[in-house]
Structure 1
Amino acid sequence: MPSLDAIPLFAQVCVAILLEAAPFLLLGSLASGLFEVFVSRETIERMMPKSPLAGIAAGVVLGMVVPCCECGIVPLIRRLLAKGVPPATAMTFMLAGPVINPVVLASTFVAFQGDTTIVALRCALVAVVAMVIGFALRAKRSEELLLADAKPIRSACGCGDEPAALFGSLSDAVGLSAVKASGPDLKARLDHAMRHAQADFLDMFRILFLGSLIAAAFKTLAPAGLVGMMEKDLLLSVSGMMILAVVLSLCSQADAFVAASFSGFPVAAKLAFLALGPVLDIKLVLMWRGVFRREVVNLLIVVPAVIVFSACLLLGAFGKVWP
């Protein structure tokens, strides 16, 4: 039975995670809203080369500069594939973008108190996962990836299926009246961007709040024997953090603060949480099932899990990230 003395510590940990993560969640929501309104999909299409190998590299580079969250990027990728963007490029961008963009890297840097090693490892591991998926799908055509009867979907953060400049669906997604897409003025565009950011922030903050509650509960209420066993066992800690990442379905802009709160866990386990969550979680699987064929969904589930699990075990057992 947990002691009442643990309640203040529980509240302190929960509030600390929320206060540290909220500014980056807000910054990411604002960036995503501006991108949604001011960057058209035609612009992205022009940036993507047709060669599969060059397309994989372009998908990674595009992910570095485009601030898309992992849930908002799925509808965008569906539209790009339907417009003929090479699958190798689109799928690499879909997996890499939510992690290796500046907002997420900055939040990871702050959460881990300036530790550039964890930032670099997270970026590299997710980039590897994205490139492997892109390479595996390099010979596929878009119609071989997408469901034949796929319908427009709503992302978990309120994004509609049309990614940019199509204000009708965006208005529906955030509760606005329809506005003509033909030449809205700057004020109207900014208003749409802010409404989109507001919906994104509120939806993701609810998930962040749940994640902070679970992290605080584990830190303060879990039996000391269980925590100690997980902290000392590499296999158990990596597996546990991977499962937690999938279940929590946290936004990549704030998940680093939850991971950092597991201070006694090996860095390899925290890296597993940071690398897997943005490329594989419950909300993503549900969205994928409405967009991609079953074999593609299976690939998106199995490959990231295997790569992250294997890499973190190797890094933990033989590298410097295991204390």
Structure 2
Amino acid sequence: MITKKEVELASTSTWKINATFIFVIALIIIFAVYPDLFTTNVLANVQGMNTFKTMLISIVLEAMPFLLLGVIVSSLMQVYIPEQWIKRFIPKNPILGVLVASFLGILFPVCECGLIPVVRRLIAKGMPLYAGVAFFLAGPIVNPVVYSATLVAFRTNPDMVYARMGLAVAVAACIGLIIYMFVKRDPLKDSPHSAHVQHGHAHHSHRHTHRTKKGGKLQEAIQHGGAEFFDMGKYLILGSFITALIQAFIPRSELIGIGQGEYTSHLFMIGFAYILSLCSTADAFVAASFVSTFSAGSLLTFLVFGPMIDLKGTLMLLSAFKARFVILLIVLVAIMVPIGALIIGRFYF
């Protein structure tokens, strides 16, 4: 039986490993792009340090209110909305099913971190796999909080908002239909280890339910929201730090060379989004800081790919689904998002 203390220790250990890994990988990428970073810029360029501090503070301050709002809405939904309500919205027709599931995030605005466990439970209870996949791919992008955050971040280019929502729904629906046609086996994990973890989680949830009866659902929502806010906040600060570092100390000419490349810009943004693992309520402000150096199409790739598949999301998917299925999802998203963004960037922006 897994105790609460053991769960907390495991969670803390996982956070430290993830944060360290992300930070190390980010530094490797920065030095690969510009190896003389600290010898020629940080120590010698006071203006660069001022730019770094200004950008870091501005990105965090702009994104934090939307992150907080998203956490509040997500926590209230998690506590007050039964999963059966979500399941009732899915039509039996697969085409209608993936379309409706892709738009469910409008009615049930839960961020990507809270969405994967919910979808896993729904699939285990009978929701079609293709609908569940479409829901957790598009849900973090089409929800009203993310729409508002993107609109504020790209206030001078509102077309980016509609392109983001449209591409997210199109990719999620297409991948959902591919899953419907080609995935016939149950991809959920069902091993002794996962059963043990589920038993431990159920035991923890049971005790949590007793506390809920005593303290009320509002207390549970506050506790859930606080934990989620600090969990998402660390990724926001780390992502803002790396973004400000890149903008301040990597020469603008090199950034433009990468950012205006027809294919290199999209590849860079895929890797950037995957490593940063930003919450979808905050990533638009990071993307907006690259408007002057990166093409609109590559920024669209960043805004759609990141909420669908990133490092922390991959770890969560691997804990719920079999590795082969997770790899299939990553490949499909990595192919379809940049292709869609390239088409939109060429004909729409």
> In the alignment, does 2:318 pair up with 1:275?
no
Deviation at 1:210, TM superposition (A): 0.6
CA distance in 2, matches of 1:5, 1:178: 51
- Residue number in structure 1 paired with 2:77: 35
CA distance in 1, matches of 2:334, 2:183: 25
> In the alignment, does 2:291 pair up with 1:263?
yes
Deviation at 1:139, TM superposition (A): 4.8
Give the fraction of aligned pairs with identical amino acids, expressed as a percent.
36
> In the alignment, does 2:341 pair up with 1:309?
no
TM-score, reference length from structure 2: 0.81
Structure 1 ranges of 4+ moved more than 4 A: 139-143, 168-171
* Secondary structure of 1:262 counterpart: coil
Query: Are the equivalent residues in 2 in contact too, given 1:79–1:161 (CA < 8 A)?
Result: no
> In the alignment, does 2:46 pair up with 1:17?
no
Residues 1:190 and 1:293: Cα distance change in structure 2 (over 3 Å): same
- Residue number in structure 2 paired with 1:174: none
- Residue number in structure 1 paired with 2:68: 26
Residues 1:96 and 1:228: Cα distance change in structure 2 (over 3 Å): closer
- Residue number in structure 2 paired with 1:70: 112
CA distance in 2, matches of 1:259, 1:225: 18
- Residue number in structure 1 paired with 2:264: 236
Residues 1:197 and 1:145: Cα distance change in structure 2 (over 3 Å): same
* Secondary structure of 2:46 counterpart: coil
Query: Are the equivalent residues in 2 in contact too, given 1:289–1:297 (CA < 8 A)?
Result: yes
CA distance in 1, matches of 2:196, 2:62: 31
Which of residues 187, 198, 203 is equivalent to 2:226?
A: 198
Which of residues 157, 178, 193 is equivalent to 2:208?
A: 178
Query: Are the equivalent residues in 2 in contact too, given 1:82–1:142 (CA < 8 A)?
Result: no
CA distance in 1, matches of 2:58, 2:150: 15
* Secondary structure of 1:290 counterpart: helix
Deviation at 1:252, TM superposition (A): 0.5
Which AA in structure 2 matches 1:151? S
Query: Are the equivalent residues in 2 in contact too, given 1:249–1:283 (CA < 8 A)?
Result: yes
Deviation at 1:227, TM superposition (A): 1.4
Higher share in helix: 2
CA distance in 1, matches of 2:99, 2:122: 17
- Measured against aligned partners, the alpha-carbon deviations of 1:163-189 in whole angstroms (never above 9, x if no partner) come to xxxxx7459xxxxx73428x837x611
Which of residues 165, 171, 176 is equivalent to 1:129?
A: 171
Residues 1:304 and 1:153: Cα distance change in structure 2 (over 3 Å): farther
- Residue number in structure 1 paired with 2:31: none
- Residue number in structure 2 paired with 1:99: 141
CA distance in 2, matches of 1:179, 1:320: 50
Deviation at 1:96, TM superposition (A): 0.9
Query: Are the equivalent residues in 2 in contact too, given 1:60–1:127 (CA < 8 A)?
Result: yes
- Measured against aligned partners, the alpha-carbon deviations of 1:192-215 in whole angstroms (never above 9, x if no partner) come to 101111111111011000111111
Deviation at 1:231, TM superposition (A): 3.3
Segments of 5+ residues of structure 1 without an aligned counterpart are 155-159, 163-167, 172-176
CA distance in 2, matches of 1:152, 1:25: 33
- Measured against aligned partners, the alpha-carbon deviations of 1:101-143 in whole angstroms (never above 9, x if no partner) come to 1000110000111532101111111111111121012257886
Segments of 5+ residues of structure 2 without an aligned counterpart are 1-39
- Residue number in structure 2 paired with 1:81: 123
Aligned residue pairs total 303
CA distance in 2, matches of 1:178, 1:33: 15
Query: Are the equivalent residues in 1 in contact too, given 2:259–2:298 (CA < 8 A)?
Result: no
